[in-house]
């Protein structure tokens, strides 16, 4: 793996970002292609680095936002039963904290309305901001109020003028997607009521390092947050990290709570996690070099395994045409010769080809017709749900191939 060659400018503090891992030329992770039209993949160099000043881990180059988030953006948040429950539970919790007479909740990146539908059902004043038109329509069809645009500083000012200040601003798996994060935080600081909170959930870099989950690195995931880097970023905008809670969803996340500086006590969890990051050297050159070398080993092992299964005449399928799988498939050079198809529940992906690797995506019934000998679990972050659902595959003698934290068969 090519590592540590280049520098770029930090999107948070304008410090120097030093590259530590390079995944080469990659397509857009969610650009599933119509069959017969595999040409025309947009390509960019996917590499990741760390800022020497504020420690923020980030991509070395940015893909224009309209190329990723547009009317046909295919990711549907409600595709996982577990995630539907996760957001319903969270909505109930946020609801308890809303004690004022006419609370207002804003979600950045509400997708198909998986979280806000709970607020809509209760008639609570809310607004989802969602640039991807197709998923925004799905949210609207559930009764969710949606603004079909990108959230940023000007949008926040418009929302404030039209609706007044927000008691809660929420974002899940969205803030880390936004390279122009200064504009977002300025917008949030404008929009929040004096005692309001900004809550966001995103993959935790400590979990990525611990699990070698390099497939969390793709075009849409621009930032990889830590408590330390978020603390620093918040202070630049008059905000403060007051709570951090570990979550098991999506392969390990943190739920961060920001408030205006000095308005709320900082929880012991923040102090403890920051100390843990410091002690483990989470963003040290040594840790990052070890991560890069683990990733190179996974690539070798996975390709060797798939080649040997092909040589033995075993059948293999993929499970879950995740955005994450684009990094794995394109970095490892895996195509339909090694994984002939991937099963996926998203109607938006079925019948299409995976970006760059051109593997057909089929609906789930193709998976059991007949079951393959082996299935590569690309949606490993939903493993509990999938393994329970696909008990028949295991009972028929099928085996799962996992590749984080290392390549193994279960």
In contact, 215 and 324? CB cutoff 8 Å: yes
Closer by beta carbon to ligand TMP, 236 or else 347 = 347
- Binding residues for ligand SAM, rule CB under 6 A, total 21
Alpha-carbon distance 297 to 291, whole Å? 10
Pick the closer one to Zn ion by CB: 15 or 154: 15
User: Which of 17, 51, 116, 172 forms a contact with ligand SAM (CB under 6 A)?
Assistant: 172
The number of beta carbons lying within 10 Å of the beta carbon of residue 313 is: 7
Of the chain, the end-to-end C-alpha distance in Å amounts to 27
Gap between the Cα atoms of 75 and 348, Å rounded: 8
Q: In DSSP terms, which residues pair with 377 in a beta bridge?
A: 319
Q: Residue 374 Cβ, how far from ligand SAM at the closest point, in Å?
A: 28
Q: Does 129 bind ligand SAM (CB under 6 A)?
A: yes
Which residue from 108, 191, 241, 404 is in contact with ligand SAM, where contact means CB under 6 A? 108
- The H-or-E segment that residue 105 falls in is strand 104-108
Question: Interface with ligand SAM includes 256 (CB under 6 A)?
Answer: no
Burial-class residue 336 by CB neighbours within 10 Å (0-12, 13-18, 19+). Answer: middle
Q: Of ligand SAM, ligand TMP, Zn ion, none, which one does residue 198 interact with (CB within 5 to 8 Å by kind)?
A: none
Q: Does 323 bind ligand TMP (CB under 6 A)?
A: yes
Distance between CA atoms of 265 and 35, rounded to whole angstroms? 55
Q: Does residue 186 touch ligand TMP according to CB under 6 A?
A: no
Closest to ligand SAM by CB, 139 or 309:
139
Question: Does the protein bind ligand TMP through residue 201 (CB under 6 A)?
Answer: no
Q: Is 73 near ligand SAM (CB under 6 A)?
A: yes
Edge-to-edge strand ranges of the sheet holding 43-51? 7-9, 16-27, 43-51, 57-59, 223-224
Give the separation between CA 31 and CA 279, rounded to whole angstroms: 40
Return the residue of 27, 74, 109, 113 that touches ligand SAM, per CB under 6 A. Answer: 109
User: Is residue 118 part of the contact set for ligand SAM (CB under 6 A)?
Assistant: no
**Binding-site partner at residue 79 among ligand TMP, Zn ion, ligand SAM, none, CB < 5 to 8 Å by type:** ligand TMP
Q: Which stretch binds ligand SAM (CB under 6 A): 172-180, 229-237, 253-261, 395-403?
A: 172-180
State the binding partner of 151 from ligand SAM, Zn ion, ligand TMP, none, CB within 5 to 8 A by kind: ligand SAM
Site for ligand TMP in 351-410 (CB under 6 A): 379, 381-382, 385-386, 389
Looking at the Cβ atoms of 12 and 192, the one nearer to Zn ion is 12
Per CB under 5 A, does 15 bind Zn ion?
yes
Given the rule CB under 6 A, which of 64-72, 225-233, 317-325, 331-339 is the region that contacts ligand TMP? 317-325
Name the minimum Å distance from CB 55 to Zn ion.
Answer: 7
Q: Which parts of 16-175 fold into alpha helices (H)?
A: 65-68, 81-97, 116-121, 133-141, 153-163
Burial 32-62 (b: 16+ CB within 10 A, else e): bbeeeeeeebeebebbbbbbeebbbbbbbee
Q: What minimum distance in Å lies between the beta carbon of 376 and ligand TMP?
A: 12
Residue among 111, 49, 119, 21 nearest 75 (CA): 111
Single residue of 197, 274, 298, 321 touching ligand TMP by CB under 6 A: 321
Q: Return the residue matching tokens 């890069």.
A: 292
| Residue count (the chain) | 410
Of residues 53 through 72, those in contact with Zn ion by CB under 5 A are 53-54, 56
Do you find a cis peptide bond into 316, omega within 30 degrees of 0?
no
Distance CA 61, CA 17 (A): 11
**CB closer to ligand SAM, 187 vs 398:** 187
Q: Which CA distances in Å does 381 have to 208, 297, 304, 320, 378?
A: 12, 21, 23, 10, 8
Q: Which stretch binds ligand SAM (CB under 6 A): 70-78, 225-233, 307-315, 363-371?
A: 70-78
Asked if 50 is part of the footprint of Zn ion (rule: CB under 5 A), the reply reads: no
Residues that bind ligand SAM (CB under 6 A): 69, 73, 75, 77, 108-109, 111, 114, 129-132, 135, 150-152, 172-174, 177-178
Residues that bind ligand TMP (CB under 6 A): 79-80, 320-323, 344-346, 349, 379, 381-382, 385-386, 389
């Amino acid at each position: 793996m090519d590592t540590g060659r280049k520098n770029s400018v930090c999107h948070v503090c304008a410090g120097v970002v030093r590259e530590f891992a390079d995944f080469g030329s990659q397509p857009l992770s969610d650009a599933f292609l119509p069959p017969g039209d595999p040409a025309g993949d947009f390509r960019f160099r996917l590499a990741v680095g760390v800022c020497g000043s504020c420690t923020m881990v980030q991509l070395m180059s940015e893909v224009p936002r309209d190329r990723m988030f547009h009317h046909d953006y295919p990711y549907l948040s409600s595709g996982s039963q577990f995630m539907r429950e996760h957001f319903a539970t969270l909505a109930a919790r946020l609801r308890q904290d809303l004690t004022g007479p006419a609370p207002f909740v804003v979600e950045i990146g509400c997708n198909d309305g998986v979280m806000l539908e709970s607020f809509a059902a209760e008639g609570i004043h809310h607004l989802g901001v969602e640039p991807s038109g197709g998923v925004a329509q799905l949210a609207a069809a559930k009764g969710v109020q949606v603004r079909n645009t990108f959230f940023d500083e000007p949008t926040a000012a418009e929302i404030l003028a039209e609706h007044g200040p927000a008691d809660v601003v929420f974002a899940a798996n969205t803030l880390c997607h936004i390279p122009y994060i200064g504009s977002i935080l300025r917008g949030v600081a404008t929009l929040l009521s004096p005692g309001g909170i900004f809550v966001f959930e995103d993959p935790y870099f400590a979990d990525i390092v611990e699990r070698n989950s390099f497939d969390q690195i793709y075009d849409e995931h621009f930032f990889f947050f830590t408590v330390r880097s978020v603390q620093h970023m918040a202070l630049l905008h008059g905000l403060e990290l007051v709570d951090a809670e570990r979550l098991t969803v999506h392969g390990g996340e943190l739920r961060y709570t920001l408030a205006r500086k000095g308005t709320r006590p900082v929880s012991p969890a923040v102090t403890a996690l920051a100390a843990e990051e410091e002690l483990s050297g989470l963003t040290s050159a040594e840790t990052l070099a070890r991560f890069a070398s683990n990733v190179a080993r996974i690539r070798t092992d996975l390709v060797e395994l798939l080649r040997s299964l092909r040589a033995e005449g075993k059948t293999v399928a993929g499970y879950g045409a995740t955005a994450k799988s684009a990094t794995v498939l394109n970095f490892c050079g895996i195509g339909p010769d090694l994984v002939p198809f991937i099963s996926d529940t998203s109607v938006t992906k079925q019948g299409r080809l995976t970006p760059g690797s051109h593997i057909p995506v089929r609906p789930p019934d193709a998976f059991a017709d007949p079951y393959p000998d082996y299935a590569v679990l690309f949606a490993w972050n939903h493993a509990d749900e999938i393994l329970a659902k696909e008990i028949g595959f295991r009972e028929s003698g099928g085996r799962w191939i996992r590749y984080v934290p290392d390549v193994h068969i279960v």
